[in-house]
Chain A
Amino acid sequence: MRGRFMRVRFDQSRLRPSRFLQGQFLQGLVSRHPVGAAGLALGLALGAAPAGAAEVNLYTTREPGLIRPLLDAFTARTGTTVNTVFVEKGLAERVAAEGARANADVLMTVDIGNLIDIVDRGLAQPVQSPTLEAAVPAALRDADGRWFALSTRARVAYADAKDLADLKALTYEDLADPKWKGKLCLRSGQHPYNTALIAHHLVKHGAEKTEAWLRGVKANLAKKPAGGDRDVARDILAESCELGLGNSYYVGLMRSGRGGPEQQKWGEAIRVVLPTFAGGGTHVNVSGAAVAKNAPNRADAVKLLEYLVSDEAQGLYAKTDYEYPVKAGAPIDPLLTALGPLTIDAVPVAEIARNRKAASLLVDKVGFDQ
């Protein structure tokens, strides 16, 4: 029986090129123990579960490399390990699914909308901490202690350094002025940094005026919105446009040479202006954090937050990430002070976050990204 069978196989041997790979072992394993083979592989794949003594699990929409120096300093001070996972989209969904036995202790985001989302979905818990309350201004934290801003960044204008027109009094409203026709570069209107700005405009001026403003800005664009904030600087160097918007910390990242020599050239090709709303201040967004509702290491989570608003950590925020600290009196990086004094607009960030969805729908309506 077997012999006859072997003969059939032998006749067809040209068609199975690797005797080794299709040898008895693998065949036998897979055909005799398919479940076992799968289980073996799965078993190998499991088990990167964190273990150890004092630790905090940090879920973040912010790339952990950016805050690694801060986390390392925290570990050096307290001996508490910080485990991180960078979940850019769906952080709230994942934490919600993990439910009561979730691993998450601290939830960190880089956009106020995402932060408020977490609170609105009931994924955060109130924290009463005199340290946090003293360090973070009231407008930059939740009254019940369910979220705290840790750093701020301004939405600033990048202008062509060769163009010497006076831009000191530039307002966000000016961006719709036809004098910029064909000279403006922006990233997608649907990006959280832009929707937050548009939401801010909504709070200031209402839906009708914001729509008209957005159509005016759209009409001024030199090219379809795409890329990131740094591409604005790069396109200005390439003479594709003369004016655009970007976050303040990118200026530091580019000019310091941290992003490589290429980016340094982009950073030096631009002049940075802090625009304001007419009769108001500059639009800022925040990076912030909340303690997860089911945090298994709540005490250490609070300690981490308290550390992040300490003088040392706030200084590190400025030094490593070129962000504005939230704590009054904390040092600001010279690359940022060179941009001029920052006057934050009076509209609270939480109010901006509530208008984010309306802003996003408005971006659709005027076909901003088309």
Chain B
Amino acid sequence: MAGSRPAPIPAPVRETGPPAPKPEMTAPAAQGARRPADLSARPRFAPWSVPWSVHLPVPWALAALALCGLILSPLVSLTLEAVQGSGELWPHLLAYVLPQAVAQTAGLLLGVGLVVTVIGTGTAWLVAAYEFPGRRLLEIGLLLPLAVPTYIVAYAYLDLLHPLGPVQGGLRDLLGLTSPRDLRLPELRSLPGCILLLGFVLYPYVYLPTRALFLMQTGNLLEAARTLGRGPAGVFARVALPLARPAIALGASLALMEALNDIGAAEFLGVRTLTVQVYATWVNRQDLAGAAQIALVMLVVVIGLVAAERWARRGRGFSGSAQRPRTLARQPLTGARALAALGLGLAPVALGFLIPAAYLAHAAAGRLSRAGLPERLPGEILSTVLYAGSATLIAGAIGFLVAASPRLLSRRLGPGLIRVASLGYALPGTILAIGLLGPLALADSAFASASTAMFGAAPALIGLGTGGALVIAYLVRFLAVAIGTCEAGLARLPASLPDAARMLGRGPLATLARVQLPLTWPALMSGALLVFVDCVKELPATLLLRPLNVETLATHLYGEAARGTYEDGTVAALLIVLVGLIPVAVLLRLGSRAGRA
């Protein structure tokens, strides 16, 4: 990359003066005469930047350090907690708890990984490579499960599939059976049940980046494969799939981390994963140190797996060329094949969204007709959007800068910054929140002593128990999502474009703002969408850190579930789904424009 190259001052251009004005450059060409003066000045966007060959402009280096400090602070406090533990519980854990937990977790991750990869990639290819009636609708529909938290889906399916629920009831009526004893479907509260449920809800994490990649992929490569005699299956398997690997890997790793750190659905479905055992070790076995130890070991394993995947695709380039990419011409399908395509694409939408959402809507309608709208709802919507929105804005901005840091800061240190800043996603929400308590308290007391020294009085807490703590927790937890999508977008960008901008005299920041940002905007937006939806759905950290008297939609729902008035909670659940739909719609607007352009 250009990060370590000497300053590419295009001397010949400067000496030969302005080029002949081209027809489309009329207005700016008039400024051409002043160019030498322009070039000698520092770029407007980065008054502080030093010549390109020197890495790490000081303010940026400090900002990067501060970010790493923020992200690492919960890990440091968890590590401190972990090393204080006596470890006396470990023989017990190794004998009775961890073997089963590791087996369940491995089974869950393998299963979910398989399901999300197959569904996510398959559906992405279906809507990218084929044209059939209903395709545009399907393109939208396939994103919908993103809007539903796993714990809501689990709750809906437990109700629907219960022996007393409509599915088994209907089957009994159909078969003429009277007692639930006569018909026993496989129990949803099982590992396979949990795998299928999480798989059908989490596949959009793979679908979203993979579809974007298929759309952005130069059609040339795929068409070349077609001209060389490959059928559709061959093009998919030999060209499209290998090219889409970074997107699939990113999506699958996000989905797997969601599955690994999931607590609601797993607990609901009776699957005792490692994360569930981390909670149980803390809460029931009364050993926070032991819980921190397990969580940190899990983190090391996760980092190892992610590193292994990156290592496995080391040294391969995935970026396109600077040529205007031609999108793939879709192959039209007709008749039975079109129907089959539509059916295949609709199945995951129905299972991951339509069925649970319809169930929620039905239950919520029942509640609304009986008791009307919960009166606290508007405030809850506001706080949900406020906290999630603030975190999304910050995570989007920081995520883009971090993803660009290999070019912006230093080719050596940038990737390290990306890894460190992504760490928070690998920790379960509550554990992260517990880890944040210490650093926030420290920041509070530092602020208090500074304030006491200066004004003679300590103010109220500014970190703990305020919305700031919540936004920080969201940021630390979900920054990885923004970074990941921006990184994938930037990786696709041919290096020649920013190189050209640099060659033409723009500073690194201006290049970033004027070339990379616009070109990776769809990726940034999709990252922001995922962050926003994740924040809206986030429960454990929100529960622990939110201020007094503040409820979000997720905590409202949890509260209703806690007192067993599930039906009252369905209104909030439905609203979480609706809030989740807003950014899905925004993204699709973007996506469909890209498709039309």
Contact = CB atoms under 8 A, between A and B. Distances in A.
Interface of A: 1-18, 21-22, 27, 30-32, 34-35, 37-38, 41-42, 44-50, 57, 63-66, 83-90, 93-94, 96-99, 101-103, 117, 188, 190, 192, 195, 223-228, 230, 234-235, 237-240, 250, 253, 258-260, 263, 356-357, 360-361, 363-365, 367, 369-370
Interface string B513-538: 11101110110010000000000000
Given A37-B393, A188-B270, A253 B28 contact: no
Contacts of B63: 35
A57 to B, nearest CB: 6
Contact of B497 (A7, A12, A35, A363): A12
B360 interface: no
11 contacts: A3-B25, A32-B45, A38-B397, A65-B559, A86-B562, A94-B544, A97-B438, A188-B270, A356-B284, A365-B92, A369-B270
Given A46-B466, A46-B467, A227-B189, A87 B543 contact: yes
Contacts of A223: 187, 189
Given A224-B270, A237-B164, A90 B518 contact: no
A95 to B, nearest CB: 10
Given A12-B324, A48-B549, 11 more contacts: A3-B25, A14-B324, A15-B216, A27-B513, A38-B397, A46-B466, A89-B279, A93-B434, A190-B280, A224-B190, A253-B564
A234 B549 CA distance: 34
A195 B181 CA distance: 31
Contact of B38 (A1, A16, A370): A1
Nearest to B21: A3
A190 to B, nearest CB: 5
Given A2-B28, A65-B559, A369-B270, A41 B458 contact: no
A250 B562 CA distance: 12
B548 A41 contact: no
Given A22-B518, A94-B437, A228-B564, A240 B180 contact: yes
B590 interface: yes
Contacts of B162: 234, 238
Nearest to B510: A31
B519 A360 contact: no
A63 B559 contact: yes
A220 to B, nearest CB: 17
A4 B564 contact: no
Given A34-B401, A46-B466, A83-B549, A12 B564 contact: no
A83 B286 contact: no
B563 A66 contact: yes
Contacts of A50: 547-549
A253 B51 CA distance: 71
A370 B96 CA distance: 10
A86 B559 CA distance: 8
B270 A42 contact: no
Interface string B27-52: 11101100100110000010000000
B247 interface: no
B319 to A, nearest CB: 13
B594 interface: yes
Contacts, number: 283
Nearest to A114: B283
Contact of A45 (B468, B525, B591): B468
A5 B466 contact: no
B544 A103 contact: no
Interface in B93-138: 95-97, 100
Given A2-B28, A103-B465, A17 B164 contact: no
A99 B594 CA distance: 53
B351 interface: no
B240 interface: no
B433 interface: yes
A32 B190 CA distance: 52
B394 interface: yes
Interface stretch (B409-417, B479-487, B501-509): B501-509
Contacts of B393: 37-38, 41
A57 B63 CA distance: 37
B381 to A, nearest CB: 15
Contact of B521 (A16, A226, A227): A16
Of listed A9, A88, A96, A250, residue having the most chain B CB within 10 A: A88
B61 to A, nearest CB: 15
A5 B561 CA distance: 56
Closest 7 CB pairs of A and B: A3-B28, A226-B270, A238-B163, A97-B437, A17-B593, A31-B513, A45-B390
B45 A94 contact: no
A6 B549 contact: no
Contacts of A86: 543, 555, 559, 562
Interface string B581-596: 0000000011101100
Contacts of B158: 227
A48 B379 CA distance: 12
B468 A42 contact: yes
B165 to A, nearest CB: 9
B179 A48 contact: no
A48 B434 CA distance: 21
A60 B560 CA distance: 15
B549 A84 contact: yes
Nearest to B586: A21
B380 interface: no
B464 A195 contact: no
A37 B393 CA distance: 8
Contact of B284 (A195, A228, A238): A195
A101 B460 CA distance: 7
Contacts of B590: 17-18, 21
Interface stretch (B142-150, B226-234, B328-336, B439-447): B439-447
A103 B401 CA distance: 37
B497 A8 contact: yes
B265 to A, nearest CB: 12
Interface string B366-387: 1100000000000000010011
Contact of B543 (A8, A10, A48, A89): A89
B437 A360 contact: no
Nearest to B190: A224
A100 to B, nearest CB: 9
A349 B387 CA distance: 41
A22 B521 CA distance: 7
B597 A17 contact: yes
A321 to B, nearest CB: 9
B310 interface: no
Contact of B285 (A5, A45, A361): A361
A48 B517 contact: no
A85 B550 contact: yes
B418 interface: no
Contacts of A65: 559-560, 563, 565
A234 B164 contact: yes
A44 B390 contact: yes
B546 interface: yes
A158 to B, nearest CB: 14
Contacts of A97: 437-438, 440-441, 464
B139 interface: no
